[in-house]
Amino acid sequence: MTRGNQRERDRAKAQKAAASQRSKTTKSKAEMQRDKDMVAQLMRDKQKQAEEKKKAEAAGAGGSSSGGGGGGSSKK
């Protein structure tokens, strides 16, 4: 049976490809930790900027929001 041999060769080829792919993506623990810390710092900075933006919008829009939504009944 020739198909059995072909299947076996394809299986071996796939295993070899999977093994080489796994070995390419390895990082040392120090590299992984450094990447994790970098991403965490970026997220902290992003959250801080978002909080500052919310505070600035709340401070700026606090006194001038009275004319925006209450005048709906005058359009009859």
The answer to whether residue 64 scores a pLDDT higher than 80 is no
pLDDT of residue 23 exceeding 80: no
Instruction: HSE, CB side, 13 Å, CA atoms: give it for residue 4.
Output: 1
Reply yes or no on whether the pLDDT at 37 is more than 60: yes
What does the pLDDT average to over 44-73?
A: 78
CA distance 70 to 60: 19
- The answer to whether residue 49 scores a pLDDT higher than 90 is yes
CA distances from 28 to 15, 22, 33, 43 (A): 24, 14, 9, 23
- Residue 18 has a CB neighbour count (10 Å cut-off) of 10
C-alpha triplet 13, 18, 21: angle, nearest 5°: 125
- Angle at alpha carbon of residue 18, lines to 13 and 20, rounded to 5°: 95
